[in-house]
Amino acid sequence: MYKKIVFPLLVAALSSTDLMAQVQPLTPFQAGERACFVGNSITEAGYYESYVWLYYMLHFPGRRITVYNCGIGGDRAQNILGRIDADVLAKKPTTICVTFGMNDSGYFEYLSGNGDSTGRKRAQESQRYFDTIAQKLKAYTPAKKIMITSSLYDETMKNPKNYFPKKSLSMNAIAAFQEKAAQDNHWGFVDFLHPMTEITLREQRKDSAFTLTSSDRIHPGNAGHFVMAWLFLKQQGLAGKPVADVAIDATARKVQRADNCQLSGLSITPGEVRVDYLANSLPFPQDTVSRMWENPQRQADALRVIPFTEEMNREMLTVHGLDNGNYAVTIDGKPIGNWTGGQLGAGINLALVNTTPQYDQAMTVLLLNEERMALESKLRAYYWLQFNYLKEIGMQFNDNKVAMDSVASRATRDWAVASKRDNYRAARYAAVRASWQRQIDALVNEIYILNQPKKHTIRIVKTS
């Protein structure tokens, strides 16, 4: 069974890699960008788009943008069509990123054994609704559009839960028409599905229990979301952009390289190098906390399977010409580590040193961004009820006691509504939602104050 599944998945992944060469790379977000990420529960979870924004907060502290979570759990193209005006275009975006496919491709229908016909039917239905979405997107001229394929359905993981044979083939068909729409309309295109599948198959050859999803084969954990963010940023052409890259020649007493930073006050005396250092960016911290419900994955876990550090998180300090021996490195008088002259000559990636002042500054930004995201998730839970329940009973945006009673009653037999019920008790009041939004705005303002570059003094002193 395993080999029969892997082969078509791998063929699809490799064929997509060939197609990607035909797609023009995206351009990075510019100052003032308002980017809406539209999708299902994977988008509603908030992490991949939040990681994208966090990268911009850290790497481009002077380039303020806004990223909106416009995900609603359970959505298919049909549902996105029904809310795109009120939930997306109303935000006046300058970029609209649209992803769907996980729910469109279906689930339990595949257990009947008619996987091929089921997959074709679901993909065709999804495309019919998407064609109308595409017309709306083309008519909304103020925004750039980016099509994003679904993240993978892990059909090959070692787990008996939620196994729907050939579901992934339907997802490939949906991804194909998403890519064609991007090509036909000169929109941007980002592929999550096939690169994530390639990574999964590669890692499962080493460890059959590996997955970028949770045990349900569907929802990525923090590591999976970080892979998605990396794929998006990479498609924007941001690979190879260092946090900073410093090279000093201690013998010639001069700066050899200062990329994305400014150096001043260089002083080199026997046994000591001192320089003032102002980087234009901050490192991306390694978050080692599992932040998603019932999923042990951490953002840092993804670093074992993708080259994010090498491509996007290099804060290099290199000092050539040091004598043999050990050296203590301090920043602003704070010890950050000890290295040999040879190691410093080869280069130290300060982005991986969690004791530097700039790492602490970046971690503060990360944690404030987490607080922002938690508040945004309350708003998304409110909109989930509006579009997934109250709309169908003719009470959308009524937010009165009758609506609250209806939600409470439905919650007794519907776990999805039950999970949003307590949030709705507060969210149904406009003043509460407005307060949450003010707190979000205040957090973003604080982030764009705290993320500004600071000058630091680096000292490298020989200890033996």
Residues in Cβ contact with 29 at an 8 Å cutoff, skipping those fewer than 6 apart: 35, 56, 63, 65, 95, 236
Give CA–CA dist 408/389, Å, rounded: 12
Res 90 pLDDT > 70 = yes
Note the pLDDT of residue 113: 83
Higher per-residue pLDDT: 197 or 15: 197
User: In DSSP terms, which residues pair with 282 in a beta bridge?
Assistant: none
How would residue 115 be classed by pLDDT, with cut points 50, 70 and 90? confident
- Rounded to an integer, the average pLDDT of 300-323 is 98
* Residues present in the chain in total: 464
Domain boundaries, the chain: 2-235, 242-285+311-464
296, exposed or middle or buried, with CB in 10 Å at 0-12, 13-18, 19+? exposed
| pLDDT (0 to 100) of residue 45 | 96
The Cα 275–Cα 53 span in angstroms is 31
User: What is the spatial distance between Cα 57 and Cα 63, in angstroms, rounded to a whole number?
Assistant: 8
Averaged pLDDT score across all residues of the chain: 94
pLDDT, position 407: 98
| Dihedral (CA of 251, 253, 257, 261) sign | positive
Q: How large is the average pLDDT for residues 454-462?
A: 98
Confidence of residue 266 (pLDDT cuts 50, 70, 90): very high
Question: What's the pLDDT tens digit per position in 355-389?
Answer: 999 999 999 999 999 999 999 999 999 999 999 99
DSSP state letter for 158: S
Whole-number pLDDT of residue 22: 52
Q: Could you give the 3-state DSSP secondary structure of residue 29?
A: coil
With cut-offs at 50, 70 and 90, classify the pLDDT of residue 18: very low
What pLDDT was estimated at residue 433? Answer: 98
pLDDT band at 9 (very low <50, low <70, confident <90, very high): very low
Q: Give me the mean pLDDT over the 390-403 stretch.
A: 97
Average pLDDT over residues 345-360: 98
Per-residue confidence (pLDDT) for residue 305, from 0 to 100: 98
Helix %, strand %, coil % of the chain (to 5):
50, 20, 35
Place of tokens 């939004």: 437
Q: Is 338 left (phi over 0), alpha (psi -120 to 50) or beta?
A: beta
Q: How confident is the model at residue 439 (pLDDT cuts 50, 70, 90)?
A: very high
**Does residue 13 carry a pLDDT above 70?**
no
Task: Pick left, alpha or beta for residue 255 (phi over 0 → left; psi -120 to 50 → alpha; otherwise beta).
Answer: beta
Phi and psi for 423 in degrees, rounded to 5?
-60, -40
What span, in angstroms and rounded, lies between the C-alpha atoms of 131 and 123? 12
**34 in Cβ contact with 91 (< 8 Å):** yes
- Residue 3 pLDDT > 60: no
Q: Report, at the CATH architecture level, how domain 2-235 is classified.
A: 3-Layer(aba) Sandwich (3.40)
User: Of 408, 425, 225, 406, nearest to 308 (Cα)?
Assistant: 225
Query: How many CB atoms within 10 Å of residue 18?
Result: 8
Q: How many helices (H) and strands (E) does the chain have?
A: 14, 14
The whole-model pTM stands at: 0.94
Task: Give the torsion sign (CA, 360, 294, 374, 235).
Answer: positive
3-state secondary structure of 329: strand
pLDDT tens for residues 29-70?
A: 999 999 999 999 999 999 999 999 999 999 999 999 999 999
User: What pLDDT score was predicted for residue 5?
Assistant: 40
| Continuous H helices in 313-458 | 341-346, 357-385, 401-411, 415-427, 430-450
Q: How far apart are CA 226 and CA 297, in angstroms?
A: 10
Contact between residue 178 and residue 147 where contact means Cβ atoms under 8 Å apart: yes
